[in-house]
Amino acid sequence: MKRLEDKVAIITGAARGIGFSIAEMLSEHGATSIIIDLNHEAVDAAVQQIDDMGNRAIGFTADVTNSDEIASIFKEIHKKFGKIDILINNAGITKDGLLMKMKESDWDAVMNVNLKGTFICTQKVCRYMLKSRSGVIINIASVVGIMGNAGQANYAASKGGIIALTKSSAREFASRNIRVNAIAPGFIQTEMTDKLPQEVIDNYSSAIPLSRMGTAKDVANLCIFLASQEAGYITGQTIQVDGGLIM
């Protein structure tokens, strides 16, 4: 039997990158992956790719900062399936820049999508999980939210906020058998990092004890474990997937 057979899993920001890898792997383990992202064509392509593998996925185009939109979609999902078992808060953006030159609009945009979006999705899903007295929420944070990073004050603050939100919501929901954890990826190979000069990639890798960048599947593998009953006694934790970058 697959580890997540018949589970219903929502993954935000899942049309590509880490989010798609998570959605793909959830479906491989028996879950119905519900992909939420901004780009309609990208959502359709992601759903089709999972369907072509013989697994289950559906998609919605939505903005995680729009509370009414998210509430409506979650209501529709619950009406269709009768439950929501798993929420992966993955949607996020970056707008990097030195603090002294950072535009307030860049600060607001990153905080809204990364932190407020995680809050909205958690708040809207918990009403269903609390009633069913079960559920798993996994928030994608970052090692930058733990150690900070020059030129990413807004991103680091948003991810640090996600870690704090994870701990608080885990305490609130534990009595109803809802587990909330965060994953803090390090340097992960994505479409964005593929565009970096090899010298920059080598410099990043040299700072990592395992001497390589991580992959989206490294993050997805941990998601599968945390979503499964094998992690039934783990909540309120932030687990790093960083090759030993920070210890």
Positions annotated as catalytic residues are 155
E strands, the chain, are 8-12, 32-37, 57-61, 86-89, 135-140, 178-185, 238-241
Query: Is the CB of residue 94 less than 8 Å from the CB of residue 155?
Result: yes
Distance of CA 22 to the CA centre of its chain: 8
Cα–Cα distances in Å, from 175 out to 111, 129, 143, 171?
A: 29, 12, 29, 8
Rg (CA), the chain: 17
Q: Which amino acid is at 186?
A: G
Cα separations in angstroms, 186 against 34, 124, 145, 206, 234 = 25, 29, 10, 13, 21
User: What's the rounded Cα separation, in Å, for the pair 235 and 220?
Assistant: 18
Amino acid at 194: D
- Report the distance separating Cα 36 and Cα 12, nearest Å: 5
Structure tokens given for 26: 């959830």
Q: What spatial distance separates the first Cα and last Cα of the chain, rounded to whole Å? A: 36
Q: Is residue 103 classed exposed, middle or buried when 0-12, 13-18 and 19+ CB atoms within 10 A define those classes?
A: exposed
